[in-house]
Structure 1
């Protein structure tokens, strides 16, 4: 959520931000509603003050009239407030100066690449075909049991996934992250506060007749852990990590990367979260991204980093980098990680502050993926051998009793 004062003083800039993000929002209507909101609020405050100043039987008629006027104004104020909030809730974050302007992922800009594409002396398989041969992934039975978009890791596939998750957690614990196991259900307030509602509300699985939703990422519960809290400046930065299953409807993704288990309804994830002082958010954005890069380097995978363009950014993010791993079976890069600097967009919506020199300040929040199932898919496709085996990356061997699967 942007500061209303910023919107009032910079309507032209806010319009430009919406245009660059391909968000259609009538900012002039918001400014008009905000003016009416402030005028009615002042009239209500003045009438209340006048009513409170009157006392005694001789003023009873005046007080009665004032109460009736107040009731009408308060009803109007409620209606104006709801309309105003509709717009405020949908205004995206400001953009970093180095965000590329573009429509979609085709306009993202590559800024870093690690390793070269491995040259195979055979035709590499796509992960679903290879995994069926190895009996380590069952998409067919997952669909039969739970529907399309669900799957079973099994045998050595499940064992290596557990090793990968354990390695990811250990990797972050060494960097002073606090490990949490969070709820996988959360209330609407959390989804609103983290910016998933209203921007991508159709991605959430809602529990019928309950104010509960399955989480799409532990960002939703880790950021919301501090909702309505006054943090201590000396405790910043705060670094959280969690492993969770995640759930997304993948609404609107029909036809995108439909083969295999790229677009699924349930997946596993280890997330990085940071709360920091506003002046440190660029520093910790780089820190989180570097963690993911170093993690992928340790697995000796080929990947690239892209600076995500304005149309592909997501409304809460000020800036976002994606890591895209190479999938030789697909002959294409696919997103495996995403890291965002959110500034104070989430902390404002969730009422998270800290005190500095008698001033309440909203901390900045940041997030970045460290591991999902897609990381294992990249390992499987990049580490396949001509004889049909899959090489275990060196850092995972200490968690396993085998070198191939």
Structure 2
């Protein structure tokens, strides 16, 4: 007799949830995906309208297994061309002025392999011992672009050094799907539907008890949402709080591609440098993130962004066409404190047929790679009993 396909429920239709649903469906499982909102994508949504913004600066790194997985399924689509190094006009704000190259001590630090950085020490202490305080502080502030944290120097040295090496790699690992991250999500959603995944939007799940009594469940939500859904107060991990600045300016020749603040933490990027489809002709889409300390407000972050814009985009206020400021709190992925690694984060297997996927759980990788790796592991664990049953049948 033909075997009965395994069944799997996925809660959350963001990058992790869609990865889990596609992987399970490709394995022959019957998958139902529940998404509380009317559109899929989670934090990878790209806004509709004149300005195609993401929730903060987004890029897709090509150094992880998710890149190969997406490529094999033709899910990345066309990429915006990466500007040549000599033409990127990256400006580094250091010691009160702009420069084109990092401090020499920071360059020396980039040669250190991640394995040389201790897990137990904070990055600032370790890096100061390696190259001195100036280079260590500049490197810590630069890597806020990939941690979104107001004080990366206080994080585990291993955690920060791994991200520093990847964020400064040449040629760059960061790539930009044309049309924004939403274009990747749209292709993933189409593949899921073609594979027979049952997608239910505006479907908010309040409890998994009845679901996991029938089939395994992958909870692919934010960690706070998973904590409430599973009523599990152990589901905590440190993340960051960041002011997000989106604006459109009348285009001006000579504007920089990006500004990195090495005197504090902050990143301003002109996304239309790579992808002109993100804003109307003659306009530039600017997106920035200014990490906030616990004492700082959204207004403080906006003021710091304005200062960088004053320095790097002369006359920007007279060219301003549209602006939106916001705050992302605990929605930028996990950060590891000294003495911890990704293995110490909340486990994927929660028992009783429930599995976690997302960017704050126990899986390796940088930013969205954590979501991807955890989704694959969650599906592997969830479907393992079904595979064993088939072998014994």
Q: Is TM (by shorter chain) over 0.5?
A: no
- Which of structures 1 and 2 has the bigger CA Rg? 1
Higher relative contact order (CA 8 A, sep 6+): 2
What TM-score do the two structures reach when normalised by structure 1? 0.23
Q: Write 1 or 2 for the structure with the bigger share of helix.
A: 1
